[in-house]
Amino acid sequence: MKKSDIKIKARPLTGGQIRELRKNGIMLNNIDPMKLDEIVDTVVEMAMTEDEIGELDKQPYNQTLSIFSGIIGLTYGRGDDAKN
């Protein structure tokens, strides 16, 4: 499979998922750099299907970080994304 064939899209987390993260000590607005990999894994697993995670696991880690960044942007809104 070519890199261009991969169709993985980031989705925002729900309010319930954000509460669950907080209960587990994960604050996405104040990420501890020493726990970044653990937080990335947790957030990606919450927002994606098992099949998508399986495909993402075959890609370079920067793809996972890109998806994580997209999830955060969609969850909290960024610039043009937040248009209410």
Amino acid 24: pLDDT: 94
What distance in Å separates the CA atoms of residue 83 and residue 74, rounded to the nearest whole number?
Answer: 12
Amino acid 45: pLDDT: 95
**How many structural domains comprise the chain?**
1
Structural domain boundaries, residue 49: 10-77
Write down the pTM of the prediction.
0.80
What distance in Å separates the CA atoms of residue 68 and residue 62, rounded to the nearest whole number?
Answer: 10
As a whole number of Å, the end-to-end CA separation of the chain is: 39
Angle of helix 50-57 versus helix 36-47 axis, rounded to 10: 140
Residue 5 lies in a domain: no
Burial string for 55-78 (b: 16+ CB within 10 Å, else e) reads bbeeeeeebbeebbebbbebbeee
1 pLDDT band (50/70/90 cuts)? very low
Residue 69 lies in a domain: yes
